[in-house]
Amino acid sequence: MSESGEPATETLGKQARHVPVLLRRCLDLLAPALTEPGAVVVDCTLGLGGHSEALLTAFPAARLVALDRDQEALRLSGERLAPYGDRATLVHAVYDELPEVLDRLGIPRVQGVLFDLGVSSMQLDEADRGFAYAQDAPLDMRMDQTTGVSAAEVLNTYPPGELVRILRAYGEEKQAKRIVSAVVRERERAPFTRSARLVELIRDALPQAAKRTGGNPAKRTFQALRIEVNGELTVLERAVPAAVERLAVGGRIAVLSYQSLEDRLVKQVFAAGAANTAPPGLPVVPERYQPRLKLLTRGAELPTEEEIAENRRAAPARLRGAQRIREDVR
C-alpha cells in the first residue's frame, strides 16, 4: 500500500498520468549533452519518476542516477523505472549529497543534471504528510520521515523570535509577528498536532486586507515551515554548486524552482559561473578567469498558459539552464 492507503498500483497509475512540469523544455535543454553512449544524467529530485522516465526514454544511450530523500518515492519510482533495468540507479540521498553518491558509484563527471525543486505531487496529494493546507493532516512535512524534526515540533518548541525569522525569510510573510503571537498563545493552551488548527489560527490572526490577496492566507506559513523542516535552502546552497562542479565540459544543468528564494539562489550560482572574474584592466584575460558556464536561458523561463491550464501546479515554475564550457584551472 502507498502512504495514502491506496494500493501502490493505483498510486503508480495516477503518477503515470501526471505530466511533469516543463518536461519538453527540460529535455531540449539537456539533449545536446546526452546523445553519446555512456552519458550519465542525474535526476537530483526523483519524486514520482516522471522526469527520470522521460530522460531514459528520450536518451536510450544514457545512464540515469536518481536521488530522493523520500523512501516511498524511491519505492514507487523503482517500480515505474524497473523496465529500464541497470540503466537506472536509484539512491536514497538528499541532493546535496550528490558528490558522495557519484564517488560511491565511481562516476567522476556527469553529462547532465536536473533539479525539480519543492514538494512533489505525491507529497502534496497524500493527506497524512501534512504538506497541503487545503486538508487536515498531522503537521509533519518531512520529506524523509525517518529523520529530523516535524513541523509540529518547530511550531511547539522554537522561540518566538526564531519563528518570526523563519516566516519572514522562508515564507516572505509580512504578518509574521502577528501569526507567531497567535501560535505562541495557542501552543501554551495545547500543542499543535494538526494542520487544520494552524490554518484556522492564521485565518483568525490576519487582518481582512491580508486575507483578500495572494490566495490561501496559510500558504506562506506552510512554505516556510516546510523549508525549515527539510533544510531546503541550506541544502540547495550546497547542491547547485556541487552539481556544477561535477559536470563534464559540455555537460548541462537544468533547474526548476517554484518560489523566488530558490530561483534567486540558482540565478546567483549560474551568474557567478558565467562571469569573467579577472581583475579590471588586464589586456589579456588568463584562462583561470574565464567563465566556466554559459547560460542557456535568458533569465528564468516560464510555463505557457496552456501548460498552466493543464497542470495548475506548473504556474509558479521557473526554469534556468547552463552549460559547463571549461574545467577549473587551479
Question: Does 74 share its domain with 171?
Answer: no
Question: Does 237 share its domain with 225?
Answer: no
Predicted TM-score (pTM) above 0.75 = yes
| Average pLDDT of the residues in 11-16 | 45
> What per-residue confidence (pLDDT) applies to 1?
30
Residue 1 lies in a domain: no
Residue 140 lies in a domain: no
Residue 142 lies in a domain: no
| Average pLDDT of the residues in 215-234 | 90
Question: Does 187 share its domain with 250?
Answer: no
> What per-residue confidence (pLDDT) applies to 330?
64
> What per-residue confidence (pLDDT) applies to 190?
97
Closest CA relative to residue 196, chosen from 166, 216, 176, 169: 216
Residue 13 lies in a domain: yes
Measured at the CA of 299, the angle between CA 298 and CA 302, to 5 degrees, comes to 100
Residue 145 lies in a domain: no
Q: Which of 59-63, 195-199, 279-283 has the lowest mean pLDDT?
A: 279-283
Residue 138 lies in a domain: no
Question: Does 290 share its domain with 278?
Answer: yes
Where are the alpha helices (H) located in 247-284, listed in sequence order?
260-273
Confidence at 10, pLDDT banded by 50, 70, 90: very low
Whether the CB-CB separation of 181 and 204 falls below 8 Å is answered with no
User: Domain of 248?
Assistant: 8-122+232-324
| Average pLDDT of the residues in 67-76 | 92
Question: Does 237 share its domain with 118?
Answer: yes
Measured at the CA of 13, the angle between CA 134 and CA 85, to 5 degrees, comes to 125
Report the run of H or E that residue 294 belongs to, with start and end. Answer: strand 293-295
Report the run of H or E that residue 30 belongs to, with start and end. Answer: helix 23-30
Residue with cell 511550531: 155
> What per-residue confidence (pLDDT) applies to 119?
64
| Average pLDDT of the residues in 32-40 | 96
Q: Which residues contact 87 (CB under 8 A, 6 or more apart)?
A: 56, 62, 63, 64
Q: Of the candidates 196, 230, 264, which is a domain's last residue?
A: 230
Whether the CB-CB separation of 127 and 196 falls below 8 Å is answered with no
Q: Which residues contact 138 (CB under 8 A, 6 or more apart)?
A: 128, 130, 150, 152, 193, 194, 195
Q: Of the candidates 187, 207, 230, which is a domain's last residue?
A: 230
Tell me which amino acid residue 319 is.
L
> What per-residue confidence (pLDDT) applies to 211?
65
CA distance 152 to 162: 15
Which carries the bigger pLDDT value, residue 231 or residue 267?
A: 267
CA distance 231 to 223: 12
pLDDT higher than threshold 60 for residue 17: no
Question: Does 52 share its domain with 96?
Answer: yes
Tally of structural domains, the chain: 2
Binding positions for S-adenosyl-L-methionine are: 49-51, 68, 95, 116, 123
Question: Does 118 share its domain with 204?
Answer: no
| Domain containing residue 177: CATH number | 1.10.150.170
| Domain containing residue 299: CATH number | 3.40.50.150
Residue 133 lies in a domain: no
Q: Of the candidates 179, 205, 230, which is a domain's last residue?
A: 230
SS3 115: strand
For the stretch 103-157, pLDDT in tens is: 999 999 999 999 999 765 444 445 554 456 667 889 999 988 888 899 999 999 9
Which carries the bigger pLDDT value, residue 18 or residue 260?
A: 260
> What per-residue confidence (pLDDT) applies to 213?
66
pLDDT higher than threshold 70 for residue 11: no
Question: Does 31 share its domain with 178?
Answer: no
pLDDT higher than threshold 70 for residue 181: yes
For the stretch 265-309, pLDDT in tens is: 999 999 999 998 888 878 887 888 899 999 999 999 999 999 999
Residue with cell 536518481: 66
Question: Does 194 share its domain with 116?
Answer: no
Question: Does 154 share its domain with 281?
Answer: no
Binding positions are: 49-51, 68, 95, 116, 123
Question: Does 98 share its domain with 247?
Answer: yes
pLDDT higher than threshold 90 for residue 215: no
Tell me which amino acid residue 207 is.
P
| Average pLDDT of the residues in 181-198 | 96
Question: Does 114 share its domain with 193?
Answer: no
Residue 3 lies in a domain: no
Mean pLDDT of the chain: 88
DSSP class of residue 319 equals: E
Q: Which three cell numbers stand for residue 106?
A: 565511481
Quick one: what percent of the chain has pLDDT higher than 70?
Answer: 87
